[in-house]
Amino acid sequence: MVAGKRILLIIGGGIAAYKALDLIRRLRERGAAVTPVMTRSAAEFVTPLSVAALAGEAVHQELFDLTQEAEMGHIALSRVADLIVVAPATADLMARMAGGRAEDLASTLLLATDTRVLLAPAMNVRMWQHPATRRNLATLQRDGVLTVGPNEGDMACGEFGPGRMAEPMEILAAIERALAAGPLAGRRVLVTSGPTHEPIDPVRYIANRSSGAQGTALAAALRDLGAQVVFVTGPASVPPPAGVEVVRVETAREMMAAVEAALPVEAAVFAAAVADWRVANAAASKVKKGSGGLSLDFAENPDILASVSRRGEGRPRLVVGFAAETDDVIAHATAKRARKGCDWIVANDVSPATGIMGGSENAVTLITAEGAEDWPRMGKDEVARRLARRIADALG
Ligand code: CTP
């Protein structure tokens, strides 16, 4: 709920600034107050008059504005809000934030504030992908800054790719999440989910029976506790939950790259049923029958859970893996926890008789450093809620 809340909206200088006008309108419609701040270059894209008219409040633009300073100093201005939103957050503004600069009103407010900050980045694809922006983003996320978007699509500059600012309704949803009270409010967590598809040729692949139901339920449960969830999913048969950042992948190697790109996070839960093997001799064009038998060579896929668990710098504080076993569940899962180096293993018995794989229920054993804890058989949603609460407790 944004009603009764005050948003300090910093509008950066980019073509997406026009969407900030719509965002102001939607925030006001829902009963939020908006204090607008514009950078000098933002005023090249939208007029301060339009912004002020929609916000119903004066626009703050200059660091050294004696009239405004007399009414409210910039330190006070940085503290009046329940949340600071930067939309569009340009590459330059992000760089200045990451570097702790205070050379204009916007960057000074961002440095002086003790309020949470949500960025809606918007920039050219190459700028978004540039190592400098990746570095700045990682620094900001480590500092606890929240982000929404950018989305992939056609860009005003004529290129295609990630860099388009999130739509006003998406930013609004992110604002609602950021303001929602919950034990994981503002915490960034990662969930992998679903199966992976490993191509044999352009039309055929090797897959497994995972539906993605448990990972999806878990992402939703973490979201409901206020977390900012990055949801990296293979081709699952259930749709991803609303209100999480969805990253779609096909193969194990794509999943690995997406997970690396999503770090840093405070907790990471690996619920995906990743294929352990990929076809090493996958064909570039469709394999025709009649050319004799088909023989496949396999190569081992990277173990995403083990690789994240063994990271030095940038390891999430809590790493949780799943273990799908068919016999000696506790012994195998305990050994897997040690082998992979994760903190917890959520073990389940997937022998066909249990009906768990692809079903709606789960009976799990939670393996931690303290030992094994059997949970009664319950719906996957309930397992997810219980696990999300345990994660919230562990992060403190
Ligand atoms: N996992 C992963 N990357 C892989 C394989 C598995 O991140 N390449 C993760 C899964 O998401 C799950 C955990 O590791 O959280 C356990 O996966 P599982 O397939 O049960 O374990 P394996 O490593 O395949 O071990 P085994 O074949 O001995 O059961």
Name the residue range of residue 297's domain. Answer: 188-395
Ligand 1 nearest-atom number relative to CA 321: 15
Query: Nearest C-alpha to atom 21 of ligand 1 is from which residue?
Result: 323
Q: What is the number of domains present in the chain?
A: 2
pLDDT at residue 59 is higher than 90: yes
* Cα distance between residue 86 and residue 178, in whole Å: 13
- pLDDT by residue (tens digit) across 99-148? 999 999 999 999 998 888 999 999 999 999 999 999 999 889 878 888 99
Residues with a known catalytic role? 157
Residue 309 domain-assigned (yes or no): yes
Same domain flag for 101 and 216: no
Residue 158, pLDDT score: 80
Same domain flag for 307 and 330: yes
Ligand 1 nearest-atom number relative to CA 301: 8
Ligand 1 interacting residues, C-beta cut-off 6 A: 192, 252, 270, 272, 274, 276, 301, 303-305, 321-324
pLDDT above 90 coverage of the chain, percent? 74
Average pLDDT for 258-279: 96
Same domain flag for 113 and 167: yes
pLDDT above 70 coverage of the chain, percent? 98
Average pLDDT for 248-257: 98
Query: Nearest C-alpha to atom 25 of ligand 1 is from which residue?
Result: 336
Ligand 1, residues 190, 193, 208, 276: which to mutate, most atoms within 8 A of Cβ?
276
Domain boundary (119, 147, 179) is at 179
pLDDT at residue 66 is higher than 60: no
In which band, very low, low, confident or very high, does the pLDDT at 391 lie, cut at 50, 70 and 90? very high
Distance 270 CA to ligand 1 centre (A): 9
- pLDDT by residue (tens digit) across 180-215? 878 998 799 999 999 999 999 999 999 998 899 999
- pLDDT by residue (tens digit) across 319-376? 999 998 888 999 999 999 999 999 999 998 888 787 777 677 888 999 999 999 999 9
- pLDDT by residue (tens digit) across 290-327? 877 889 999 999 999 999 999 998 899 999 999 988 88
- pLDDT by residue (tens digit) across 146-180? 899 999 888 777 888 889 999 999 999 999 988 88
Domain boundary (151, 179, 207) is at 179
In which band, very low, low, confident or very high, does the pLDDT at 67 lie, cut at 50, 70 and 90? low
Ligand 1 nearest-atom number relative to CA 305: 7
Residue 297 domain-assigned (yes or no): yes
Same domain flag for 235 and 348: yes
Average pLDDT for 274-279: 97
